Structure formats: structure tokens, C-alpha cells
Chain A
């Protein structure tokens, strides 16, 4: 699986959009970009995934660049409950996820 690079941490103001970048320059054509998060040592929680097109669901939006070498997860209106570690994972499928260190996102009131 391709390796991803994420910032170690970032802060976000409550109610504002949080934009989480991820670089995956070695992604191959059939690999997906997955985003999971982990709130305070709970089990990881699926957020969204995509292949080429931008995706949106009730939790977030995923913007993937045209060359697929990077992506951005957007939490449109961050709340205090969105404070978590966010993982960007590139994988052929979700049958074996390789978690990195992720980005620790702190939402401040």
C-alpha cells in the first residue's frame, strides 16, 4: 500500500470548516483513499473514501486532486466532538488497513 503523509496536528475553531491535507504521491491507479478517525482511544470510525472523484457524505467531504497525489478531508462545521486523530489511508480495499500516526485535530470553542 502507498504511504501517506499528514501534518502531526492542527487546531480548528468550533463552527468553522476543518481542512485536513494528506499527501499520497505514490498512490497506484486502483488504490482508494480512506479516512478514519479515532476519538480518544475508541475504535477507529470510518468517515469517507474515494477513488478519483470528490465524495461527500453526512460527515465530511473528500477532495482528491486530479493527479491523485494528494487529498483533503473537509469537516464543514467542526464541533468539539470532532476532536480526534484523523487517519488518511491509501489501500486497495478495507480488508487490511495500514494506520499511520494521523493528524491530531483539536477543535477549540
Chain B
């Protein structure tokens, strides 16, 4: 069964450092997303990406965050200058848009980011 893969599974970084979280979406999917979940809290939407541009973003997704699809297979989330409060599990997801039938989003297993 196709799956969304994320690397690394766990990333520890020092406050103020840049971090890049990587995702390989399912190959025929066209919509890509990042969500995050702070420990013990809800899963929160960050950003959606389609046709090489951001289609929607939440208030959390400020100037410190950026997304990119650098090579047609990877989808990355960059945090420029990490803060302690960026510590969370980050989930990548993808879906295949269908203009007639809604399709589901497939989520990766997540990257646990710890900022120290």
C-alpha cells in the first residue's frame, strides 16, 4: 500500500537553528500538507500546497516557516530560527484531488522535533 514517508523520525535542534523536515508524498498525489501536534494537544493545520504554491495557511504558519517541493518528489517544511515552542510532532500528508469525489488525506508517521 502506498504511504507518505517522513524523515527523520526524530530531530533535535538548538534554539535559533534552522531545521528542514522532509516528506515524500504518495507519487500520484497533487495536494500536500503539513500539520503539527504539540505534545498532549490537538493536531493543527499549518499549510496546504498545490501546483507549486501555497493554497492555504494557518496563523501558526508565519514568516519563520516555508515549504518547498524541490524536485518533484520531496516536500519540505523549513523552520528558519527554531523556538522552544516549535517542539512538536510534525505530520506531512498528501491527497489526490478529485473534482467529482472527495478523497482522503494520507498522513505520514511524523517527525518529532525537539528544540533545546
Contacts and interface: CB of A to CB of B under 8 A. Distances in A.
Nearest to B106: A46
Interface residues of B, number: 26
Q: Could you tell me the dominant secondary structure of chain B's interface residues?
A: strand
A53 interface: no
Contacts of B113: none
A101 B42 CA distance: 6
Q: Could you tell me the dominant secondary structure of chain A's interface residues?
A: loop
Given A42-B110, A43-B109, A96 B91 contact: no
Given A94-B104, A94-B105, A100-B42, A43 B56 contact: no
Contacts, number: 56
A49 B110 contact: no
Interface stretch (B13-21, B43-51, B67-75, B79-87): B43-51
A38 interface: yes
Contacts of B44: 99
Contacts of B89: 41
A98 B105 CA distance: 13
Could you say which interface size class chain A belongs to?
A: 20 to 34
B109 A99 contact: no
Contacts of B95: 94-95
Given A38-B43, A46-B104, A95 B110 contact: no
Given A94-B102, A95-B56, A44 B48 contact: no
A38 B108 CA distance: 12
A45 interface: yes
Task: List the 3 shortest-distance A-B pairs measured between CB atoms, nearest first.
Answer: A43-B107, A46-B104, A99-B43
